[in-house]
Chain A
C-alpha cells in the first residue's frame, strides 16, 4: 500500500475535528484492567508456555544434604539414557559459571562464600544444584536425573540461627566464621538523636523499660507461577525469557557473571505470575539454563516443580530481634535499642545483606523517639538462602515496634491507641525528620486512626471484650492495633549509594507518538500482577489528553525497554510513574513549537489542556494527535525542528515515600482449642493520591492476607538434619479462601511531596501492617490469662500451649491429649524454645 501525500494531509485535516475538551479525568478512576482479557481467557504468555524448535528440557539434580562434600558424581548411566543430550556437573562448568552476584555489600569487610550456580565440591544447603540433565523431553530429563549417582560425605550443618552466631558449627568452614557482617546505626553517633544507653539507664532508675525478644520466622514468598527460564542461543543475541521481576538487572548480572557482552544478551520477562520479592533474584537456574543452551547450541527450558521452588527459591524474613524500649512513667518513649540476628541462609543473594538494613530506619516508625540504636549481625546457616520478601525489612521492624507499643500500653495501663497517639508525630509537625535522619514528607496519623476506629466500631468491640472476659467465655475476643508507616519507592540513588548498594534507584520511561494517533509507553518497571498497563494508560491519557484505549504500555523486554531498574520496593508508580509523566511533559514541549508553527502563533501564546494546544484568547487550536501526524509527515515543520515527538525521561526521586495507615483487627480465640479466627479487619491506608482505587484496594487485600499468614499460618520448618519439612503446599500452608474473610478498607489522603502525582507506594503496605495487628489481637485476647507473647505463626498448638503454660485450664482438655507434636524437636528454633519461655516472652 502506498500513501500519497494528499492522503496524509487529509488525515491531518480529519483529526482537526477531534474534540478532546470533554475527556474525563482518568487519574482516580476505578478502571478495570486492560491486562485482564488475556489472563481470563488463557491467552497469557508464561515462560513455561514457550516452545522453540529443537528445544531441550532441563532437570536439576539437587543435594538432599544440608552440608556435605561431594566426593564423586557418576553421570555415565544418565548420559546414555534415552533422549539425553548432556549431563553437566559443577566440575564441567567450573571455569565458566562464575559466582552469583550480590549487589549490596553492606560493609567493606562483609564476608561471603563463592556461590557457583552448580556446586563444585561442596553443598551448603539441601536443594542446592549438583548437576543438570538436558534431554529431548521433560519426562526423559526427569528419568535420567534419577540415574545421576552422587556420593556425599556429610558435614556438620549450622542450622539454628543463634547457635550459628556462636560459630560452634561453620556453614562455610573456609570463611572461619558464620558472621557475614555487622551493621550499626546509632543516633548519637549520627547526631540525629541522643544516647540510647543513657536513656535506658535513666528509665531503669525512674521510668519504664520493656525488654523483649521476638522471632521473625522463616517464610517462603510462594508466588503462584513456578520459576521458569528459556534461553535461545540461536541468532546474534542470547535471548532469555524468565519469570523474573528484574529483567534489566538480570541482563546486567548475566553479563557480569558470565563475561558475555551485555549487548549480546536480551532478557524478556513475559507475563510473570507473581513475585513478592521472590523473583527479585539472579538465580543459579538462570545461569545453568544459559550455560546449557550455549553448550548445546540449542534452546533450553527449565521450569521448576513446586517442591523445588519451596526448597531452592530464596526464602524471606528469619530474624531474632532483641529489643529494649525505654519510656518515662507516663509512657512517652525515650529510647529504642534493637539487636538483630538475621539469617542469610547459605549464600548471599542479590540484596540479601541489605534486607535487614531496609528495616533499620523503620523501627522508630511513626513515633518521636529521642534516641535510637540498631545493631544487626548477618549470619550464615546451612539453609536455603534468604532475600527480599514483600516488605523486606520493614515488616520485621513494624512488627517489633507495634508489638512493643502494645506492651508499653499495658505497662502504663492505657489503651494501645492512646499510647501511640502520645508518641506519634502530629500532622502539623510534617515534614518531620526522624531519629534516623529520614525526612517524612507528609502524613496524618490522627485522621487515619479516627477513620479506622469509626469503621471498626472500636468502642463497641472493647465493651464486648470486657463482657466476655467477665463472663469467662471460652471464646475470648482480642483487638489488635497497627499504626504503621514504611519507607518505599526505592529509591533515591544517593541514599542507596550511601548504604553501599551497587546501583541507583531511578526509573526510565519513553513515550512514542505513533502517526495513527496511538501512543506507546515504554516503562522500565516491569509488572507481574500490579496492573501497570492500566495505571500507566490512565496517567498518560490524562497528561496527553488522549483516550485511555489509545495508550499501549510495553515493558519487560530489554530490547523494547532498553533501560530500567524493574519492580520491587513499592517503587513502580512513585518512581516509574513519575518517569512516565516527565516523558509526557517532554512530548508536550516538543509539540509546542510545531503547534505554534502550524497555528501561525507564538509558542508563548499557546496553552496545552485536555490534549489540545489553543491560542490564548481564541478558539484556534490543534489536538496532539493532529500534531503527531503532522510531525510524522514532516511536510511543514518549522526550520531546524526534529521531526519527532518521541521522548524519554529518567526520574530519580529525592526522597522515599512514606505511606502509613491504621489497621485494626478483631480475633476470636477459642481458649479450649487455641484456634484463632479473624472476625473483622479494617484498614485505613494513606498512600497519597490514588491513580486507580480498584488496583490499590486489590494490593491492600492481598498484602493484608500475606501478613495475616505470617501471623497465623506460614512457616518454613527444617528438621534437625537441615531438610525442609514444609516442602510442599501440603505443609507450607498458604491461606485459602476458607481461611480468610472480607475486609473493610478505606483511605485518607496526604499527598506525597516528592513526585508530581502525589502518590506513595502501596505494594507492600498491607503486608507490613497486618502481621502485628493480628498478633496484637491474639495476645490481647489472652493477655488476662497472664500471656504477653505468642511466637509466630500463632497456630492453635502454640496458643493452646501458651494458655496451658499460663496456668489457665478450661474444661476437660488435658495436655497429654494434645502432645502429638513436640515443638522445637524438628525445628530450627531449638534454642530458647522452651515453651514456657517462648509463650510468655520472657526476656533472655
Chain B
C-alpha cells in the first residue's frame, strides 16, 4: 500500500492507504474528520467539499494518494483561534442552513468562491455555488450569506485579496 503524508487542518499525518481510497474516506475513516460528509456517489452534491492547497475540491473526487505532500483544510479547520471564519459567521447570521448536512461543503465552496471573486454578483454567486446541493433552504439565504461573507472576508483581509 502506498504511504502518503498529508497536512490536514494544520496537523501532518503519515499513513498507508489503499490506492483506491478516496480522500473523503481517508478524512472520515482514517483521521476521524467526520465534519466532512458524503451526500452522493456521483460528485453532484458537493457536501464533501474541502480545500486542497487552498482551492476547493470535492473530496469524493480526489484519491487520497493525490493529496500526498499537500495541504487539506476541512470545515473543522476553518475557524482560527476559536473564532469563526467570516463565512461561517455569515451562514449563521443569514440562516443559510437548516438541517446543516450540506453546510460544510457549502461553506468551503463559498470561501473559495469569494477568494477568487470578492465582488461576485448574485448571478456569479449562484453560478459559483451550483455544484453544491441544498434541499432545505432554497438557496435564498445561502446567496445572502455568501454576499455577507464576501464583504466580511474582504474587510478581515484589509480589503486585500488573500
Contact = CB atoms under 8 A, between A and B. Distances in A.
A735 B142 CA distance: 14
A273 B101 contact: yes
Given A41-B76, A41-B88, A734-B133, A225 B99 contact: yes
Contacts of B42: 306, 728-730
Interface string B115-147: 000000010011101111111111111111000
Contact of A740 (B36, B47, B139): B139
A42 B95 contact: no
Interface stretch (B51-59, B62-70, B102-110, B154-162): B102-110
B4 interface: no
B100 A40 contact: yes
Contacts of B14: none
Given A224-B133, A698-B98, A738-B127, A730 B44 contact: yes
A793 B125 CA distance: 26
A736 B125 CA distance: 12
A697 interface: yes
A40 B84 contact: yes
Nearest to A30: B95
Contacts of B78: 41
A35 interface: yes
A40 B130 contact: no
Interface string A135-161: 000110000000000000000000000
Main secondary structure of the interface of A (DSSP, over half): loop
A706 B139 CA distance: 11
The 3 lowest CB-CB distance pairs between A and B, nearest first, are A42-B35, A273-B101, A39-B100
Nearest to A740: B139
Nearest to B134: A224
B72 interface: no
Nearest to A730: B42
Residue from the set B75, B101, B126 with the largest chain A CB neighbour count within 10 Å:
B101
B135 A32 contact: no
A271 interface: yes
Residue from the set A39, A46, A729 with the largest chain B CB neighbour count within 10 Å:
A39
Given A273-B101, A529-B98, A49 B143 contact: no
B50 to A, nearest CB: 10
B23 interface: no
Interface in B71-100: 74-76, 78-79, 84, 88, 91-93, 95, 97-100
Interface residues of A, number: 58
Given A305-B41, A742-B122, 15 more contacts: A40-B107, A41-B84, A42-B33, A224-B99, A225-B39, A271-B100, A306-B45, A695-B95, A697-B141, A701-B137, A701-B139, A701-B141, A729-B40, A737-B143, A738-B127
Contacts of B18: 139
Interface of A: 32-33, 35-44, 46, 48-49, 51, 138-139, 222-226, 271-274, 276, 305-307, 528-531, 694-695, 697-699, 701-706, 728-730, 734-738, 740, 742-743, 766
A711 to B, nearest CB: 14
B150 interface: no
A49 B79 CA distance: 21
A219 to B, nearest CB: 12
Residue from the set B88, B130, B135 with the largest chain A CB neighbour count within 10 Å:
B135
A734 B75 CA distance: 24
Contacts of B98: 274, 529-531, 698-699, 702
B59 to A, nearest CB: 13
A840 B18 CA distance: 57
B112 to A, nearest CB: 14
Nearest to A38: B100
Given A40-B107, A224-B101, A274 B88 contact: no
B95 A33 contact: yes
Given A742-B140, A743-B138, A272 B92 contact: no
A35 B100 contact: yes
A39 B130 contact: no
A38 B129 CA distance: 22
Contacts of A43: 35, 76
A307 B41 contact: yes
A184 B51 CA distance: 57
Given A42-B35, A225-B101, A737-B125, A705 B88 contact: no
B95 A222 contact: no
Given A40-B97, A730-B42, A737-B130, A702 B138 contact: yes
A737 B41 contact: no
A42 B137 contact: no
Contacts of B142: 737
Residue from the set B41, B88, B130 with the largest chain A CB neighbour count within 10 Å:
B41
B6 interface: no
Contacts of A225: 37, 39, 99, 101
